[in-house]
Structure 1
Amino acid sequence: MEPGALIPAADAIPASPWFFRVLLDATFAVHLIFMNLMFGLALLGFARALRDAPGLDRQAGLAPNLTALAVNLGVAPLLFVQTLYGQFFYVSSTLMAVWWFGVVLAVMGAYALAYRQKYAFHAGRGPGVWTWALMCLLLLYTSLAQTHNAVLLVRPDLWRGYFADPSGTLTAWADPTVIPRWLHFVLASVALGGLALAMIGHGRAKRRDPHGEEIRREGLAWFCWATVLQAGVGSWWLMALPRNMIPAFMGADKAATGLLAAGVALTLAAVVFAFRGRLMAAAGAGALTVLVMTALRGVLRSLYLDPLFDPATLPVTPEPSTTAMFLGCVVLSLAVILWASGMPKVDRKGA
């Protein structure tokens, strides 16, 4: 059976495909940053809890908020990927339904453990090594399941596995990019978690905490070495791609080549800044790298699906009122967030 015969027909969309592609990349980049921060701080929390390192209390305090932000900020890109690639996403999610439902349970469990860890520190119960470990295992599972779904989405040829086992447990282990793709994300989380840790140390150093500078240096070291390893894994991922796609990143496709070059340059800049102790410059370069790599991920998705599907061919049924209402809600939401973030703090001592 030809892979194209397994793909359902696409639904009409209410605006031009490029509009949703821009929104998908922008919102997914923001989601990735918070997801990496949350996952990275959890991984570093476990590693640092083994030696009861200073600053664990602040890591535990940030975990619930970052988890909530990562989950909520993931709703928008999820909707946009369904809009553009719904006929692929729905099928891939259904074929691995058992593992996909497990993601919901794993994230809920990790969220509960994050709160447990936060209040355990408030009660002075110590580093909580086993709680950190279980949280990391749940998040590692979540990231691996997400990776399998991302690969199944662009590999309809793997959907044939359903006919041999229709139990909803299909995986993408047959694809050689699964492991490097997953490790690339895990190492990115460690890197951004290191930056977050460095910022925790920076804040403590400004308050003359004796451990502040030590935490800052440790966070930058985590960022540097995780990024160096990530470069190696990224090269592995590139070499594991189908042979007909690799030339696109070597000059055959201007968008793919340009984005890859920009991503490499920004990564090098971030590492250099971090080695020199320039925390904010490293964080800025790191955030830009995530944005560029998100766009590159979109290009890679298009290369995979090119023989079978192009979002530009989606039928469009213009709904300007719906689109305008959506944009208005986005602007209003941003205004509320900015207003809330600027509210003065309550002075509890004087209350």
Structure 2
Amino acid sequence: MDIGIVMNAMRDPAGLPAQPIVFQVLMVITWVLHIAFVHLALGSAGLAIIAFHRRGAGPYWERLSFGLTKVAKVAVSLLIVLGVGPLLFTQVIYDPQWYTSNVLSGRWAIAFIFTLIVGYCCWFAFYQVNHAGAKKRIGLYAWSALALFFLDGLIMHALSYQELLPQQWTQWYAPAGDVDTRGASLHAIEWARYMFIMGLSVPGVGVFLLVYAQYFAGRTDREAAYLSFAHGLGQRIAQWGFALSVPTLLAWQADLPHASGLALHPVGWLLVAGLVAMAWWMHRLNPATHGYLPAAASIALLGLLSLWREIIRTAYLRPFGYDVYTYPVHFDWPSTFLFFITLTGIGGFVGGFYLLLLYRSGRVQNCYTAERPVARLGTGALAALGLWIAVFLAYGIAISYRDGFI
């Protein structure tokens, strides 16, 4: 059996509504947003637990634990929402691989949902009881949540990695010729890759603390000594986090197939150089440096990582004759137009308004009164939402009338 012919035959016969490169680019971009909040959730949760247990070591550890507990709670919500985008685009152009991997590990794919719910509930319980004078035993909620979050990361890693090994699908599905439909195993785990990507949560929370100190610098209820503590701690965590990420990335590089040419690919080594440069920068960081600059550089580094993942996926599947650029395309201009209007209009105006409102309101201590540009953006967001609803309904009515439903 030629597995390449099978994979191409499993593609959606309806094809794609636009060129594959569109969905490939969108997948790379949306994964950056998703993984950034994964790192923030894991990093802030881990540091919140450490700070919780170090409450007696200094006056600011307890305060930091309270703040990071809230950050992790919000970050988990956002990583779930922002994970929809890359999952959607993966299903669009890599549907044979993704669905096969999910069937092969069906129990784990379903368990992911339940363990994520339980983990989030455990963290919310910790958030509710983490206050001054709280007993140390409540840390059990936090440790349980963090363990489940890492398990969920492992499940997603295995499902993604199994996509890249179609030559082993038959063996996993029917070992020794006996069909196994239980989906009870995670068949392939690349530990170096998993440890590297999850380990980036350490420098991620370090960089966040630099942003945290910069953001609250103008508020009178955040004393300079506390912000200096957060900045110094973030700098040290980021420095060591980036440095310690280099060995795991090199281990991942060494584990790539030698025949694929990936071991010498410039993007992979540019990623290594980027980590080294970030570690050196954090070591030499000038206290006067704006805290948002390391965050911008970190996002750029995640963009390079997202691109590297896609290059690796392409190289793994190329020997089997699977090429996303040969996916059948049946142009559907109305749906494509609606998609990008939604992305730019709703995402740009409405999402931009909410982000700007949250950013500006958090920088004042008491009641926030919107400045004129923020108020105008709010008006524009409301108009864009109304227009989008009108276009959506008009399009649906027109299609229904054309097809004889009304």
Q: Tell me the TM-score normalised to structure 2 length.
A: 0.78
Distance in 2 (CA, whole Å) between partners of 1:271 and 1:280 is: 16
Alignment of 1:3-42 (within 5 A): 3-4=3-4, 7=7, 8-11=9-12, 12-42=15-45
Unaligned runs of 5+ in 1: 251-255
Tell me the number of residue pairs that the alignment of Structure 1 and Structure 2 aligns: 340
Inter-CA distance 204–324: structure 2 relative to 1 (3 Å threshold): closer
**Equivalent pair of 1:266/1:286 in contact (CA under 8 Å):** no
1:268: which partner in 2?
276
1:148-198 deviation per Cα after TM superposition (whole angstroms, max 9, x unaligned): 11110111122121113321023234x6xx110110012111220222234
Shift of 1:209: 4.7
1:69: which partner in 2?
78
Alignment of 1:174-323 (within 5 A): 178-203=190-215, 207-245=222-260, 247-250=261-264, 256-257=265-266, 259-277=267-285, 278=289, 279-308=291-320, 309-323=322-336
**Equivalent pair of 1:205/1:213 in contact (CA under 8 Å):** no
Other structure's SS at 1:185 match: helix
User: Which of 126, 130, 136 does residue 140 from structure 2 map onto?
Assistant: 130
User: Which of 348, 351, 357 does residue 337 from structure 1 map onto?
Assistant: 351
1:292-329 deviation per Cα after TM superposition (whole angstroms, max 9, x unaligned): 11011100000000012000110011101110001111
Greater Rg by CA: 2
Distance in 2 (CA, whole Å) between partners of 1:152 and 1:24 is: 18
Unaligned runs of 5+ in 2: 56-60, 370-406
Distance in 1 (CA, whole Å) between partners of 2:83 and 2:350 is: 19
Q: Tell me the TM-score normalised to structure 1 length.
A: 0.89
Distance in 2 (CA, whole Å) between partners of 1:293 and 1:115 is: 31
**Equivalent pair of 1:269/1:282 in contact (CA under 8 Å):** no
Shift of 1:264: 2.8
Shift of 1:263: 2.1
Report % sequence identity: 22
1:51: which partner in 2?
54
Shift of 1:113: 2.6
Higher relative contact order (CA 8 A, sep 6+): 1
The letter for the 1-side match of 2:351 is I
2:174: which partner in 1?
163
Distance in 1 (CA, whole Å) between partners of 2:125 and 2:237 is: 25
2:121: which partner in 1?
112
Distance in 1 (CA, whole Å) between partners of 2:292 and 2:275 is: 14
The letter for the 2-side match of 1:144 is L
**Equivalent pair of 2:49/2:142 in contact (CA under 8 Å):** yes
Distance in 2 (CA, whole Å) between partners of 1:268 and 1:204 is: 29
Distance in 2 (CA, whole Å) between partners of 1:60 and 1:4 is: 47
1:253: which partner in 2?
none
Shift of 1:2: 4.7
The letter for the 2-side match of 1:338 is G
Inter-CA distance 293–231: structure 2 relative to 1 (3 Å threshold): same
Answer yes or no: is 1:148 the counterpart of 2:163: no
Other structure's SS at 1:306 match: helix
**Equivalent pair of 1:204/1:211 in contact (CA under 8 Å):** no
Inter-CA distance 201–56: structure 2 relative to 1 (3 Å threshold): farther
Q: Which segment drifts farther, 10-19 or 223-232? A: 223-232
The letter for the 1-side match of 2:192 is P
Distance in 1 (CA, whole Å) between partners of 2:186 and 2:308 is: 24
Q: Which segment drifts farther, 97-106 or 119-128? A: 119-128
